């Protein structure tokens, strides 16, 4: 395939599935990040299509027909990898777009991306499993600012992809509110600060805790570019609230404590295990940094094609999944 043909192919894929407006400037594809975004989104889209595949199992001689099974984890990941491999081959046939520049040359990298996309769709409710088979979720949509987010049993010629997230342009949305989007992505209704203030009423503060020299505290030191050098450190802040974590007897596990400073007197509340698993304490950490005016903002910039996001600090799981579904910056 000649380089010109390759650009035409990328442009057609980009315009059909990714760009809101038709892009005719093929020079855009000299930017390798745009090529990687296009390949990533197309692979993710085929992962969604895999949920509708029926897999041949056995031949039923009595009924003269085949038996079929639903999609499996391996099939979904395999279909994603096939897209990556096919586009990688296209890249290798063009000297200006060799696979090394695209960073899809490694089978391990491809498998890693397929695993990532699978986990992302699982955590954002695009399918459910019983027990080894995958089934697409029921249809659901939410609209805001002329964008309709889509999940479930739905096919459309107008379907587009933002990162790994499918959507349509919705010129006449029936529902156009942030509340519908929050419900769609299971985003928390309260801000981290408001949730933290309510959370305080559920805690049992005591005057002692097993603090020792190895205890780590929430790092309050912001470095350049509004980012944190490390989320934890051995220096305790003197603010009203901070978090501490103490390694327990379970390997690579910690007990977490909220420390409250009242006029120099410290009180400690041990967090329940539900707030320690899967980093569910992040809303507490964000609230503490916000109250201390130390929380880096979420920043973004746009160019002719993409919006680039700098989250700045850890996000609660549901919000993190939302950003990862719709944005993957290269």
- pLDDT value, residue 7: 60
Are 106 and 208 within one domain? Answer: no
**Would you give the end-to-end CA distance of the chain in angstroms?**
26
Asked, for residue 324, whether it belongs to a domain, the answer is yes
Are 206 and 309 within one domain? Answer: yes
Asked, for residue 271, whether it belongs to a domain, the answer is yes
CA–CA distance, 324 with 319 (Å, rounded to integer):
9
Tell me the three state secondary structure of residue 152. coil
- Other CB atoms within a 10 A radius of the CB of residue 173 amount to 16
Are 200 and 329 within one domain? Answer: yes
Tokens of 275: 């707030």
Q: Which pTM was predicted?
A: 0.81
Are 111 and 198 within one domain? Answer: no
Asked, for residue 107, whether it belongs to a domain, the answer is yes
Range of the domain at 105: 3-124
Are 62 and 193 within one domain? Answer: no
CA–CA distance, 27 with 34 (Å, rounded to integer):
11
Asked, for residue 177, whether it belongs to a domain, the answer is no
Write down the residue that tokens 């809101």 correspond to: 20
Among 104, 124, 144, identify where a domain stops: 124
Q: Are 228 and 219 in contact (CB under 8 A)?
A: yes
In the chain, which stretches have pLDDT less than 50? Answer: 1-2, 95, 98-105
Asked, for residue 181, whether it belongs to a domain, the answer is no
CA–CA distance, 104 with 84 (Å, rounded to integer):
7
Are 83 and 210 within one domain? Answer: no
Nearest partner of 167 among 180, 144, 150, judged by Cα: 150
Among 124, 142, 171, identify where a domain stops: 124
Are 92 and 221 within one domain? Answer: no
- pLDDT value, residue 194: 95
Q: What is the DSSP letter of 95?
A: G
CA 69 from centre of chain:
29
Could you tell me the CA-to-CA distances from 80 to 37, 91, 254, 323 in Å, in that order?
14, 17, 36, 21
- Other CB atoms within a 10 A radius of the CB of residue 225 amount to 9
Asked, for residue 49, whether it belongs to a domain, the answer is yes
Are 117 and 197 within one domain? Answer: no
Are 120 and 191 within one domain? Answer: no
CA–CA distance, 78 with 265 (Å, rounded to integer):
58
Are 119 and 217 within one domain? Answer: no
Number of domains present in the structure of the chain: 2
Are 202 and 107 within one domain? Answer: no
Q: Are 151 and 137 in contact (CB under 8 A)?
A: yes
Asked, for residue 169, whether it belongs to a domain, the answer is no
Tell me the three state secondary structure of residue 71. strand
Asked, for residue 221, whether it belongs to a domain, the answer is yes
Give start and end residues of each alpha helix (H) in 18-123: 32-50, 73-92, 99-102, 107-123
On the 0-12 / 13-18 / 19+ scale of CB atoms within 10 A, 265 is exposed
- pLDDT value, residue 181: 86
Among 102, 124, 146, identify where a domain stops: 124
């Amino acid at each position: 395939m000649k380089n010109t043909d390759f650009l035409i192919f990328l442009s057609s894929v980009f315009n059909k599935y990714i760009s809101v407006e038709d892009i005719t400037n093929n020079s855009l594809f000299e930017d390798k990040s745009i090529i990687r975004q296009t390949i990533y989104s197309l692979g993710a889209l085929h992962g969604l299509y895999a949920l509708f595949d029926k897999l041949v199992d056995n031949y039923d001689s009595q009924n003269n027909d085949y038996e079929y099974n639903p999609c499996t984890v391996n099939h979904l990941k395999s279909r994603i990898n096939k897209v990556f491999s096919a586009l990688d081959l296209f890249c290798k046939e063009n000297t200006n777009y060799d696979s090394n520049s695209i960073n899809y040359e490694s089978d391990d990298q491809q498998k890693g991306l397929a695993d990532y996309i699978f986990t992302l769709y699982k955590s954002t409710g695009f399918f459910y499993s019983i027990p080894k088979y995958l089934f697409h979720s029921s249809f659901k949509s939410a609209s805001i600012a002329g964008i309709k987010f889509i999940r479930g049993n739905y096919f459309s010629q107008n379907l587009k992809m933002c990162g790994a997230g499918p959507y349509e342009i919705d010129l006449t949305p029936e529902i156009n509110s942030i509340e519908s989007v929050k419900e769609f992505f299971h985003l928390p209704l309260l801000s981290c600060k408001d949730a933290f203030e309510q959370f305080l009423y559920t805690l049992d503060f005591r005057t002692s805790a097993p603090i020792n020299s190895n205890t780590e505290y929430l790092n309050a030191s912001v470095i350049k570019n509004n980012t944190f050098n490390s989320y934890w450190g051995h220096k305790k802040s003197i603010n009203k609230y901070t978090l501490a974590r103490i390694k327990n007897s379970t390997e690579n596990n910690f007990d977490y404590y909220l420390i409250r400073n009242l006029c120099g007197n410290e009180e400690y509340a041990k967090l329940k295990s539900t707030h320690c698993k899967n980093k569910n304490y992040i809303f507490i950490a964000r609230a503490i940094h916000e109250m201390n005016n130390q929380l880096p903002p979420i920043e973004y910039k746009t160019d002719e094609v993409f919006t680039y996001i700098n989250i700045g600090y850890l996000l609660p799981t549901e919000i993190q999944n939302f950003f990862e579904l719709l944005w993957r910056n290269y």
